[in-house]
Amino acid sequence: MPFHMKRATSFLAATAVALSLTAHAAHAESKKLFVNLPLSGPWSNFGDGMFNAFKLAVDQGNASGVLGDLKLDVVRGDNAGDTAQGASLATKAGADPDVVGAFCCWTSGIGLATHAIYNRYGLPTILGGSNDHRTTRPYHKSAVIFRNSPYDLINMKMAAYFAAATKGFKRIYAIDDNSAFAVTQVNEFTKAAKKLKGDGIIIGRESIVPGEKDFTSLLTKIKPLNPDLIFFGGRIVEASLVRQQMKKLGFDAPIMSSGGVFSETYIKITGDAAEGSLASFWGLPMAYYPEGRGIRFEKDYAAAKFNQSYESFGPMAYAAGQVFVQAAAAANKKGDVTREAVLKELETGSFSTMLGDFKFDEHGMLDILHIAIYEVKDGKWNILYRTDRAATELKPVK
């Protein structure tokens, strides 16, 4: 086999050279932040926007000099919205000793699947989206999980308050898309609404299957019950289809939803039928963030020329990037930038981000909440109400 052997030797040699080259190229003083998001698949519009915003924050941090000799690299992990892949990536992040922080998930399902894995590896993680309350303390003892958006218990309490008390809807029909996040969302919404106005307010509930396109038979069944609000827990495409098919059936009740639907894309694909749709969301229009920080983010994002808009979750991702940069910078001043050091900074430090200045509380939840109620008017989401910093009451926005 002389020919065979020659091929093998030359191949091995070439690869050895190449491998040593890559080894040299790596920076000794760089640490990694691992992003685990749906960058392909049905929710990639959200994932891409978040990834870009997160990377923008880290790039700005690297350029600003606050990190000193340290450089932070962002590792792109694409979970495609698939829980199994998300878990596999979390393992990948955890097993790489250079990774000092993770930004994760978007979907609640992946949050549920991965929080224990991050915990197992002691990897400090900020959840973006993934609002299921069961992934963080006090509902789960994952000491490494932080979130910079409020979880569903708080969101849905405000949404239900708006629907049942502020607006005074009396016959609400709830639909969920059977995904982890939507089921919890609708559970909490109905629970909160019933607490406010009694059991009769929720007149029915049904689950649909994501990927399904025709809900007319379900809506035909619901229409004679005369609901005055459809609360929809789920995502853009299904919400859009439900809304359009309601209109086609001459079914006039408004539809209300939350994160997962709150997006420009919803209006774009729903067209005129979107008018009057309601949503609660844990974010403000850019102009409402303190000290013009939102506007500055918007400008920076536009200047970076990404090919995808930052979407509704971009601001939280940007803030997460800023938090990691500030935590790593503080850890770097005190000594080594390790997972333990970053974790300690997240627990004790206070951060100045575009969402405002905040600390994480003992449960890993940020202490500034921006929950707002929106309505579609003239092809745009218009803010109607917003909460105070601790989300205890709802105030109209002039």
Partner 1 sequence: MPEIDFISSQIRKDDDRSTAERVRDRLELTGYLVFFFILFLIGLAIKDAYLLMGYLALVGAGAFMWRKLPRLDQRFRDLVQVHKGQMVLVMSVLLAVYPLIFAHDAYLVHLGALAGIFVIVALGLNITLGFAGLLDVGFAVYFAAGAYTSAQLAVIWDVDFWVGLPLGGLVAAFFGFLVAWPALRVKGHYLAMVTLGYGLMMNILHRNLKGVTNGTDGVINIPAPTIFGHDFLSPITVFGFTLPFQTNFYYLTLILIAITMLISYRLLNSNIGRRWEAMREDDVAAHCFGIDLTFNKVLAFSTGAFFGGIGGAVFAHMIGFVHPDNFILLTSITILAMVLIGGMGSIWGVALGAVLLIMIPERLRDFEVLRMLLFGLSMALIMIFRPQGLFPSQRRRRELESARVEELIKASGKENAHVRPVD
Partner 2 sequence: MEIWLQQLVNALTIGGMYTLVAVGFTLFFGVLGLINFAHGEVFMFGAFVALTVSTAVIAAGMENALFIIVLMFVVSMTVSAALGVGMERVAFRPLRGLPPLLLLVTSLSIGIVIREAIKEFYPEGANPLAFFSPYSFDTFDIGNITISYTQAGLILLSILLVAGVYLLVTKTWLGRAMRATSEDVEAARMMGINVNRVIRDAFIIGSALGAAAGVMNGLYYQSIRFDMGWVMGVKGFTAAVIGGLGNVYGAVYGGYILALFEVLVVALVPNGSQYKDVFVFLILIGILVFRPSGLLGTPQTKVG
Please give the residue ranges that form the binding site for partner 1 (CB under 8 A).
Answer: 1, 4, 7-8, 11-12, 15, 18-19, 22, 39-40, 76, 78, 82-84, 87-88, 91-92, 94-96, 109, 112-113, 116-117, 120, 134, 178-180, 183, 207, 209
- Looking at the Cβ atoms of 60 and 207, the one nearer to partner 2 is 207
Residue 11 touches which member of partner 1, partner 2, none, C-beta under 5-8 Å by kind: partner 1
Q: DSSP string of 71-112?
A: EEEEEEEE-TT-HHHHHHHHHHHHH-TTEEEEEEEESHHHHH
Residue 220 touches which member of partner 1, partner 2, none, C-beta under 5-8 Å by kind: partner 2
Q: Which of 62, 265, 338, 352 binds partner 2 (CB under 8 A)?
A: 265
Question: Considering only 65-73, 236-244, 320-328, 343-351, which stretch makes contact with partner 2 by CB under 8 A?
Answer: 236-244
Q: Which of 37, 201, 273, 371 binds partner 2 (CB under 8 A)?
A: 273
- 172-176/202-207 β-pairing: parallel
Lookup: tokens for 194: 């019933």
C-alpha to C-alpha distance for 35 and 104, rounded to whole angstroms: 6
Core vs surface per residue 292-309: b (16+ CB within 10 A) or e:
ebbeebbebbeeeebebb
Q: Which of 180, 193, 208, 343 binds partner 2 (CB under 8 A)?
A: 208
Q: Min. distance of Cβ 233 from partner 1 in angstroms?
A: 12
Q: Min. distance of Cβ 246 from partner 2 in angstroms?
A: 11
Distance from the first to the final alpha carbon of the chain: 83
Lookup: tokens for 106: 């978007």
178 is a site residue for partner 2 (CB under 8 A): yes
Q: Which of 29, 206, 388, 393 binds partner 2 (CB under 8 A)?
A: 206
Identity of the residue numbered 152: D
C-alpha to C-alpha distance for 123 and 100, rounded to whole angstroms: 7
Q: Which of 212, 252, 340, 388 binds partner 2 (CB under 8 A)?
A: 212
Q: Which of 31, 32, 45, 278 binds partner 2 (CB under 8 A)?
A: 45
252 is a site residue for partner 2 (CB under 8 A): no
Beta strands per DSSP E along the chain:
30-37, 71-78, 99-106, 125-129, 145-147, 172-176, 202-207, 229-233, 255-257, 278-281, 350-353, 356-359, 372-377, 380-387, 394-396
Q: Min. distance of Cβ 279 from partner 2 in angstroms?
A: 17
- Give the residue from 151, 155, 167 showing the smallest Cα distance to 384: 167
Lookup: tokens for 312: 């509704």
C-alpha to C-alpha distance for 49 and 364, rounded to whole angstroms: 24
Footprint of partner 2 (CB under 8 A): 40-42, 44-45, 48, 178, 206-209, 211-218, 220-221, 224, 236-237, 240-241, 244, 247-250, 265, 268-273
